[in-house]
Chains A and B, each alone.
Chain A
């Protein structure tokens, strides 16, 4: 069954003295429960595409639908974690993670408990009353993830969630996120610059080329890697082969 359908997306940004075409002719589909990655050089329109899927900007052309519903009509079915954590510094951790529920007026005892459980799972139990400035970068990133998951979105989008972290923290969080999403059976889109991360975490990888952003090629991750935790996938014998072929494609793109 087609879960998310992106059909013929073009997008041009207009400013007073320029018109930048960020995306051109993007069509793709994502199945329910699938984990896909968007990979591509900086400026190829990945963040733009996520904003379009989230219904935050209307594309110049094309449609996006989730379960046959156009996305701009949906509310709270799509969770979107931005490129930086953007926790509200004047709100406590508790207020931050309950923000989505509060905004949509759906804050119940039960959902609050669900959010606290998530925080606990992320290893941040007991931090509820602290403020974002008292947390490290990796902790803040996890809180932002809890905030996104707390509204129980059907589709989760992560924009380079681990790019600002040190390698070790990043590997740990990859496992944690992958595990959490599998447990809840979520459909997810991950944006990343990191080929290894894309292979380790996803079922399919969409490679984009820049100026204007186009869908360059799609890679299917081998079955034996899909079911492994990211850390183990990185050590599997099938991993380097896929890495090499994606690497070559990226070099092709950049040579153009």
Chain B
């Protein structure tokens, strides 16, 4: 009985120490946040850094308030977020589809292998100007940019995962007389779900790059346009505001994908 109490006590202490550690970590995270923004504000106020270039949190905040109140921020944000979401969803979907085609035909995959390597090592954003001339300076070509930066790497990663599925699962299915389509549906695709989700996470980041560059080039609207416009009229408060908004929304999208992962991947471990 006495021993039991002791174990109980030790367990309590252990839980307390875990909790204390967590509080300290959170404390330092918040501290870094405050020091960064306070430092920025103070440095800018005292002209230790050039306030014309680096602006200051209070100015960025003020501009944010104005743009929220007149609603113009939401218009730009809406365009950019839509383009990015389409970009990374379509990029992942198309990449997975291409990977499925390559898996279907081993000969095709052997033939295309060197071309995939070349396409993958090429900086895709460099195709931007051609794309915009070909498709016109509109949303379609920006979404295409978002797709383009992610589709090849998705194809390669997902195809590799398809190929690495344990052949014995296929053997089990074949003993039941499974067709190639059934092999794909019952084993290849579900076994690769974790890989597809993790490429989805990477593609969130990649598509932001594609879309922002696309908006630089098209220069009519969106957060990318806000940056390029701010740069042209030398309004760096606007540039920094765009960056902050991008950071916030990129994080939100990433978290949403992480949530999707929790819902999709089920194997009884939760």
A residues contacting B by CB (< 8 A) are 51, 54, 56, 75-76, 78-80, 82, 84, 86, 88-92, 99-100, 103-104, 130-134, 151
Q: Is B191 an interface residue (CB 8 A)?
A: yes
| A to B contact number (C-beta, < 8 Å) | 59
Cβ < 8 Å to A, chain B residues 159-174: 166, 168-169, 171-174
Pair B176/A84 contact, Cβ less than 8 Å: no
When distances are taken between beta carbons in the complex, the residues of chain B under 8 Å from A54 are: 175
- A133–B178 contact, CB under 8 A? no
B residues 235-261 near A (Cβ < 8 Å) are none
Top 5 nearest A-B pairs (CB, nearest first) are A131-B268, A103-B176, A100-B176, A75-B177, A80-B175
B residues lining the A interface (CB < 8 Å): 166, 168-169, 171-178, 182, 186-187, 190-191, 193, 265-269
Instruction: From B168, B182, B186, B268, give the contact of A86 (CB < 8 A).
Output: B168
What is the bound-complex CA distance between A151 and B177, given in angstroms?
11
Task: Tell me whether A79 and B267 are in contact in the complex, defined as CB-CB below 8 angstroms, given that A84-B168, A88-B190, A99-B186 are known contacts.
Answer: no
Which residue from chain A places its CB closest to the CB of B187 in the assembled complex? A88
Residues of B contacting A133 in the complex (Cβ-Cβ under 8 angstroms) = 267-269
Q: Which residues of B contact A90 (CB under 8 A)?
A: 190-191, 193, 265-267
Contacting pair A103 B173 (CB below 8 A): yes
A82-B168, A103-B182, A103-B186 known; A89 and B175 CB under 8 Å? Answer: no
| Complex-state Cα separation, A151 to B172, whole angstroms | 13
**Additional A-B contact list (18), CB under 8 Å, known A54-B175, A89-B267:** A51-B171, A56-B174, A79-B175, A82-B168, A82-B172, A86-B166, A86-B168, A86-B172, A88-B187, A90-B191, A90-B265, A90-B266, A91-B190, A92-B268, A99-B173, A103-B173, A104-B176, A130-B268
CB pairs A–B below 8 angstroms (20 shown): A51-B171, A54-B175, A56-B175, A75-B177, A76-B177, A79-B175, A80-B175, A84-B168, A88-B169, A90-B266, A99-B172, A99-B173, A99-B176, A103-B176, A130-B268, A131-B266, A132-B267, A133-B267, A133-B268, A133-B269
Which residue of B is nearest A103, CB measured? B176
CB–CB B193/A86 < 8 A: no
Complex Cα spacing A56 to B169, Å: 13
Q: B176 is contacted by which of A76, A91, A130, A131 (Cβ under 8 Å)?
A: A76
**Chain A residues near B174 (CB, 8 Å)?**
56
Contacts of A103 in B (CB 8 A): 173, 176-178, 182, 186
| A132–B269 alpha-carbon span in the complex (Å) | 10
Distance of B261 from chain A, by nearest CB (Å)? 14
Q: Are the C-beta atoms of B186 and A82 separated by less than 8 Å?
A: no
Chain A residues lying within 8 Å of B175, measured Cβ to Cβ, are 54, 56, 78-80, 100
Q: Tell me which of B171, B178, B187 contacts A82 (CB under 8 A).
A: B171
Indicate the member of B177, B186, B187, B266 with the most A CB atoms within 10 Å: B177
Residue of B nearest to A144 (CB): B172
Residues of B within 8 A of A78 (CB): 175
Q: How far is the CB of B212 from chain A (nearest CB, A)?
A: 36
* Complex CA–CA separation, A54 to B177 (angstroms): 10
In Å, the complex CA distance between A76 and B186 comes to 17
For the complex, what is the distance from the CA of A92 to the CA of B186, rounded to whole Å? 13
Closest to B194 in A: A90
Distance in Å: Cβ of A46 to nearest Cβ of chain B: 15
Give the CA-CA distance A64 to B267 in the complex, in Å.
39
Measured CA separation A86–B170 after assembly (Å): 10
Closest to B177 in A: A75
Least CB distance from A98 to B in Å reads 11
Separation of A75 and B269 alpha carbons in the complex (Å): 35
Q: How many angstroms from the CA of A82 to the CA of B267 in the assembled complex?
A: 22
Residue numbers in B under 8 Å from A91 (CB-CB): 190
Minimum CB distance partner of B264 in chain A? A90
With a CB–CB cut-off of 8 A, which chain B residues contact A100?
175-176
Give Cα A131–Cα B174 distance, bound, in whole angstroms: 22
Which residues on A sit within 8 Å (CB–CB) of B193? Answer: 90
